[in-house]
Chains A and B, each alone.
Chain A
Amino acid sequence: MSLNIAVIIKLEPDFSDGNVSYNPDGTLNRAETKTILGHHSAIASQAAFYAKVKYGARICIGTMGPPMADLALEQSLLLSDAEELHLYSDRSFAGADTLSTAEVLKTGISKMNDGKAMDIVFSGFRASDGETGQTGPQTAWKLGFTFLGNVISYEIDIEKRVITALRLISYGNNSLIEQVQAPLPVFIAIDPSYKSPFITVSQRLSASRYQKEAMIRSRNYKSLLKIFNAKELGVDPKLVGLPGSPTIVYKVEKIPKIKSNRSAQTVENIDPNNISNILEKIHETIA
């Protein structure tokens, strides 16, 4: 009774300082910006690794993207010690919205591990460039899997094929922790606050053993990599890329400034006298 796990990840712009570049109009300069495994994709990879350490799961990672997205697969392999890597890459996938991306990912997942049924699919919380958080749940729906979002921890009963997960749900200014139980298969969008809890000594030992294995595997990651174009994947061309996208980006513009009723007094000389005047204003206002 082994566990069959998939992770879907994304190669994203690296928004950290020094790596990100913006055009003069404030839009992202994609040509100049470095790309990395998305931050949330990395957390999803770690969540899958937990299942490997604890339940001996087999992991396959999939991504839709340009040929260079194999970099993200390599980085994700380092974190999860995956057995198999999938890259779905075809010019006809370009311009896909979340629905047509989900179509490609669903089809790809069905081909993982020689087409054996998946028990759990992991995805990140959202991508840092699109930020919609829609691709995960839409892939889950197309697979027919129960979707569990914002998961902060999970345990599996291998015998009963049941998962118990904690979810962090925010609404308004409140949040709640929900404990939910569901039969496998499930699709998990992992919460940004997820941390893998390796508590016992034996778990830590096997974690470090798998990490070593991941290092070795990543040196030769291309031997684990399978690249599929649209035809090899067998997707319906009407359902992917631009033709399969209900939504389009119509225009991008600067957000107009909101009307302000304030006019600021500008202070350029930073001396104690000026600062103490400002502090006086603060005291007066509060009093």
Chain B
Amino acid sequence: MSKLNENINESIERTASLKEDKEADVLDTSNKEDEISKYRNLYVIIEQIDGKIVPVGLEMISEARRLVDDFNKKYLLNEKVIAVILGNDIKHLCNDLIYYGADAVIYADDPRLQYHINKIYTKVIVQIATNTKHIEKISPEYSKQFIRPRYMFFAANSTGRHLSSTVLAELESGLASDINKLVIEDIDFRHEHKTKGQMLTFKKTLMMYRPDFSGFLWTTILCLDNKNPEIKRDYHPQACSIIPGVFEPLEKDMSRTGIIEEFKPEFDTKDLEIRVLSRNILKDVIDFGSYKTIISFGRGIKESPEQNIKLIEKLAKLLNAEIGISLPVSKKPFKLSDKINSLYITPERVIGTSGQKVEPTIYIALGISGATQHLAGMKNSGFIIAVNPDENAPIRNECDVFIKARIEDVLPIMIEELEREKMTQTREGGGSVVVGTV
């Protein structure tokens, strides 16, 4: 009896230990994959102009911080947010990058990096991204296998868009542009080329969400290794450019500490023949911030654009407002006279994530349907009035007064009322007697 019990116990123990072994095995393989990974950390490429950090850099660090913290918790790893910054006499900016959330900063400080020259900057960024010496200090536990970054962020602005393209062309990996949402997930996926039609798992995939040109659709872009044996290839880093103004920067925290590493770049003499001769900052002609009222128009002007814009000009004058536009208008070749075209159909006037964010006391949206990107740029306004004949337009959920009509139906009446008010005021102001209507 006791013998039997012993046997049973023994077998239970053995099964248990086998089970443990099995679990240990499973854990082991996943950890093994994690241990030997050649791709580590999230690199955020920061831009500076004349010794000032371009704001989108801090926004990217904030989002990188959130992603990497979740990632480390989920995968039991210890990967880092590494900010990379180039320029001349910019060392003093490195502490700020730590205070705003980076774990480490790698900087290159050299007179030859005074101006952003695509060819030179691309080569230096690639040198930094593939440098293992700094990783020994920043991620000692991963430095043995390290080859290049796991993820990379760039700014989706004039410079960052081009820089990301050329860096990723050199690193021969994938890039998604103009991203406004990011998630890291393990996904099961079947693809004719990438997996030869088999369902396979892609771990730690960066899901990059990109609003398309309509502003109503999100396309998720992935950068995936080719696991098909015939065309086997690793594609890292997984990279994207991020729309400025989407993510909130973290609060500056001076108690944060991190590693700051200087990188000494190598230059090709031929590249140094590319020279910036002069730079002139253009005074911004459109200063939305100094107006209490902003009137924006969208595609709803299309039935008679020229006349509608003239009405909008009149209304803006009467309400002392600045005029903005929605993104689609900036791209649409309406038939307009050159004068009106150059005045209003310009990128500087675009309100939304691809343009300016505004918060006036009064915001009047004329013929704007209300794509998410536009709403993001104006929803913090005080009082919002929308004019649109389509009551299902999304703008209706983001306004205080929704006038269901076309621009040409409403504006003439508005203008007439305002002109009448003005007349009355000048008469009153002039001290003359107002004759009441009988």
A residues apposed to B, CB below 8 Å: 15-17, 22, 25-28, 39, 97-99, 102, 128-129, 131-134, 136-138, 140-142, 146-150, 164, 168-183, 189, 238, 242-243, 245-255, 257-258, 260, 262, 264-268, 270-272, 275-276, 278-279, 281-282, 285-286
Contacts and interface: CB of A to CB of B under 8 A. Distances in A.
A265 B402 contact: yes
A268 B222 CA distance: 45
Given A137-B166, A177-B279, A243-B226, A39 B413 contact: no
B122 A134 contact: no
Contacts of B278: 178-179
Given A134-B175, A247-B222, A264 B192 contact: no
Interface stretch (B97-105, B213-221, B426-434): B213-221
B401 A250 contact: no
A176 B281 contact: yes
Nearest to B410: A270
A278 B391 CA distance: 18
Contacts of A253: 217-218, 220
B417 A176 contact: no
9 contacts: A170-B347, A172-B157, A181-B275, A248-B194, A254-B217, A262-B399, A270-B403, A279-B421, A286-B292
Interface string B187-203: 10101111000000000
Interface residues of B, number: 108
Contacts of B174: 97, 99, 245-247
Interface in B121-179: 122, 157-159, 161-162, 164-166, 168-170, 172-178
Contacts of A133: 161-162, 165, 177
Nearest to A170: B158
Contacts of B386: 264
Contacts of A138: 165-166, 168-169
A244 B278 CA distance: 40
B218 A254 contact: yes
B36 interface: no
B216 A98 contact: no
Interface string B218-248: 1111111010000101010000000010000
A176 B402 contact: no
A247 B223 contact: yes
B2 interface: no
A98 B404 contact: no
A258 B379 contact: yes
Contacts of A177: 279-280, 282
A27 B416 CA distance: 41
B207 A238 contact: no
A97 B177 CA distance: 12
Nearest to B205: A250
A176 B212 CA distance: 28
Nearest to B164: A134
Contact of B276 (A179, A248, A282): A179
Contacts of A131: 177-178, 212-213
Given A174-B281, A279-B414, A270 B409 contact: yes
B65 interface: no
A228 to B, nearest CB: 22
A279 B213 CA distance: 34
Interface stretch (B6-14, B47-55, B69-77, B255-263): B47-55
Contacts of A238: 231, 233
Contacts of A275: 410, 413-414, 417
Contacts of A262: 384, 397-400
Contact of A264 (B284, B399, B413, B417): B399
Nearest to A27: B217
A182 B216 contact: no
Of A25, A142, A238, A264, most buried by chain B (CB within 10 Å of CB) is: A264
Contacts of A97: 174
A243 B169 contact: no
A17 to B, nearest CB: 6
A143 B112 CA distance: 24
Contacts of A174: 281-282, 284
A168 B158 CA distance: 9
B221 A134 contact: no
Contact of B166 (A39, A140, A168): A140
B220 A251 contact: yes
Contacts of B273: 182-183
Nearest to B160: A171
Given A15-B331, A138-B165, A178 B276 contact: yes
A179 B47 CA distance: 19
Contact of A248 (B54, B222, B361, B413): B222
Contacts of B383: 281-282, 285
A159 to B, nearest CB: 16
Nearest to A162: B273
A250 B194 CA distance: 12
Identify the interface centre among A16, A128, A142, A262: most chain B CB within 10 Å of its CB: A262
A177 B361 CA distance: 33
A50 to B, nearest CB: 20
B22 interface: no
Contacts of A271: 413
A134 B177 contact: yes
